[in-house]
Amino acid sequence: MLDACPGLCVVSNVAVGYNNLDLAACTRAGIVATNTPDVLTDATADHAWALLMAAARRVVESDRWTRAGNWRGFALDAFLGAEVHGATLGILGMGRIGQAIARRAQGFSMRVIYHNRTALPPDPARPDGPQWVEKAELLRSADFLVLLVPYSPATHHAIGAAELAQMKPTAILVNIARGGVVDDAALVAALQSGRPGGAALDVMENEPHIHPGLLDLENVVLTPHIGSATHTARRGMVTLAVRNLDDALAGRRPVAFLNPEVWERRRRYGI
């Protein structure tokens, strides 16, 4: 596509993730590539919590059951869910959104553990703050595991059968990163076998085509890639994308650059 567009000078992506762009090809062709970070951080963090709570307390499952006319009265053991307060929250990928999710966990008195390629600098004001652990420990210890790594060849199926087998049978997996980070076929098999205990997914492999096994499971909450879908966040994303585009076309350095080497090359040679 890029080869067929010799006049193209900027691609302004309306998203934080950019695995939909061939960034290396853009850079080779001298095409500026931009994205929209920051403006959707809080909206996406909120949606992660919406998914987590919905899965923990079986909100969607009990809603369907109630709408179907099955409710006949109170039952002590009806739709027993997972306790969120005081549980261990695991975060795989502690970037802006991961840190926003961790801040929200304070209100639930949760222990927060995370795994990144590198640990965050310690916060002296929060000695009991998020704790870096090895990935294996994250999988073993998390009651709720939220995935936030960007999608790349290195993170393809970062959560597969081997990783799922290490999780607690009561654990809940939340994916708001990208489809393909989780092996959805392996997830279906794992959920059917009872480890982990549930999942909540905003992104799926090959979306919008969903693995049919996910649709048959009651212990799965599904949303159609709407992590940033608030009026405020989406308006902010579009505004930033337009600003990036306008700046690039006007010869100003865009706010959110994915390949700054292109800009330096243009500046150096007066392109």
The answer to whether residues 232 and 225 touch, using CB atoms and an 8 Å cutoff, is no
CA gap 238, 250 in Å, rounded: 18
Shared-domain flag, residues 200 and 170:
yes
Shared-domain flag, residues 96 and 31:
no
Q: Is residue 49 part of a domain?
A: yes
State pLDDT tens for residues 94-122.
999 999 999 999 999 999 999 998 899 88
CA gap 122, 16 in Å, rounded: 26
The answer to whether residues 18 and 35 touch, using CB atoms and an 8 Å cutoff, is yes
Q: Is residue 260 part of a domain?
A: yes
Kindly report whether the global pTM for this prediction surpasses the value 0.85: yes
Shared-domain flag, residues 64 and 159:
yes
Shared-domain flag, residues 200 and 253:
no
The answer to whether residues 49 and 146 touch, using CB atoms and an 8 Å cutoff, is no
Banded pLDDT at 248 (limits 50, 70, 90): very high
CA gap 139, 143 in Å, rounded: 9
Shared-domain flag, residues 197 and 128:
yes
State pLDDT tens for residues 219-243.
999 999 999 999 999 999 999 999 9
Q: Is residue 33 part of a domain?
A: yes
- Closest by Cα among 164, 131, 129 to 145: 164
Active-site residue list: 178, 207, 225
Shared-domain flag, residues 206 and 246:
no
State pLDDT tens for residues 66-79.
999 999 999 999 99
CATH number for the domain harbouring residue 243:
3.40.50.720
CA gap 6, 259 in Å, rounded: 18
Share of the chain above pLDDT 90, in %: 89
Shared-domain flag, residues 173 and 238:
no
Give the number of domains in the chain.
2
Shared-domain flag, residues 204 and 87:
yes
- Closest by Cα among 164, 171, 166 to 197: 171
Q: Is residue 2 part of a domain?
A: no
CB atoms within 10 A of CB 4: 6
Residue 16's domain comprises: 10-39+231-269
Q: Specify the amino acid at residue 33.
A: A
